[in-house]
Structure 1
């Protein structure tokens, strides 16, 4: 009997040690890759590095679930995800039956209108008569005025692969791209190599900025994230990541 008790006790200690070593797991929903925020390998990127750094400091193991926005919103609303990233806070509040806890701003998207150098635009109405390629769901996400305007454009399309916006502008196949400035700069640098992006393109800030948070079901996780995010700023880590991924 003593031997059995000893064996059970040893197994309990082993399982407890393993649980401590593995840490509690968090599953976070993300949409498709959008470099430099989420890289194509889905293991790196500005946002992923911040999220991992924060929770690993508290011994959490972070896993990411990648799917289209509609699916990750559904899974989050059903509490099959612990958190969701890059979705508008108000939209998530309406889509989720229980209370949610948005963090402080994780990243701010700067949606802009881009043309080749010298092709200046006065305002959004200047898009009339132009060939325009937006990012996926831009028609919905950029407000009622743009949604109305886009329906009047003879040539308006959207793409999930924003690298094509750079290529099509450079090849003269479109007149205008609509993108987050950080994403566009990332792909432009791949094609321009050592040349300055601003030497080839004009940027028109016709849209406001779009701050994005990480939204939790747990207030505890929200508080951990906010506290550690401030520490990363104080320690200069956010500044270093801004430089690493050319986010300004």
Structure 2
């Protein structure tokens, strides 16, 4: 994600090498070998322990690109709106495939109960309503 006003053209992972980047902790190890190679070769790559700092850095123009879940960045916009202008338009660059998350359970009965509950809220439409409510969080 970058400020739209910058007019960057980022279509592939190697394109990131020319920019200053702020990402979340351990991103270089979690986002694949191509991203790791770029991060380790880019002296202007940094990882933030406090994710809120990415928003401050982006909207103040101190970094070119931030890497992270758009919903998390949107959440922190609410926290920094009195510090930086979060109304500035941003462009998202779809460089990473969606992550399919899963839940782990120690007990089979907990897993089965969860699965039944999830199936029920999906069937009722509640799941879609929850997703919609948080789509632009």
TM-score, with normalisation over the residues of structure 2? Answer: 0.84
SS in 2 for 1:151: helix
Give aligned pairs, total: 133
Question: How do 1:61-72 and structure 2 match up within 5 A?
Answer: none
- Per-residue Cα deviation, 1:71-116 (whole angstroms, up to 9, x for no partner): xxxxxxxxxxxxxxxxxxxxxxxxxxxxxxxxxxxxxxxxxxx111
Residue 190 (structure 1) shift: 4.8
CA RMSD of aligned residues (A): 2.3
Q: 1:127 aligns with which of 13, 16, 28?
A: 16
Q: Give TM-score, length-normalised by structure 1.
A: 0.49
Q: What is the rounded CA distance, in whole Å, between the counterparts of 2:16 and 2:51 in structure 1? A: 19
How far, CA to CA, are the matches of 1:246 and 1:196 in structure 2?
18
Cross-structure match for 2:92:
203
**Which structure is larger by alpha-carbon Rg, 1 or 2?**
1
Alignment of 1:220-239 (within 5 A): 220-239=109-128
Measure the CA separation in 1 of the matches of 2:56 and 2:71: 16
Gaps spanning 5+ residues in structure 1: where?
1-113
Structure 1 residue 243, shift from structure 2 partner = 2.8
CA distance in 1, matches of 2:81, 2:89: 9
> Larger relative CO (CA 8 A, sep 6+): 1 or 2?
2
Q: 1:149 aligns with which of 30, 33, 38?
A: 38
Check whether the contact 1:130–1:175 (CA below 8 A) recurs between aligned residues: yes
Report which of the two has the higher share of helix: 2
* 2:3 corresponds to: 116
- Per-residue deviation, residues 149-201 of structure 1 (Å, max 9, x unmatched): 111001111113222111111101101100012211222355559x996x610
Unaligned runs of 5+ in 2: none
Q: Greater strand percent: which structure?
A: 1
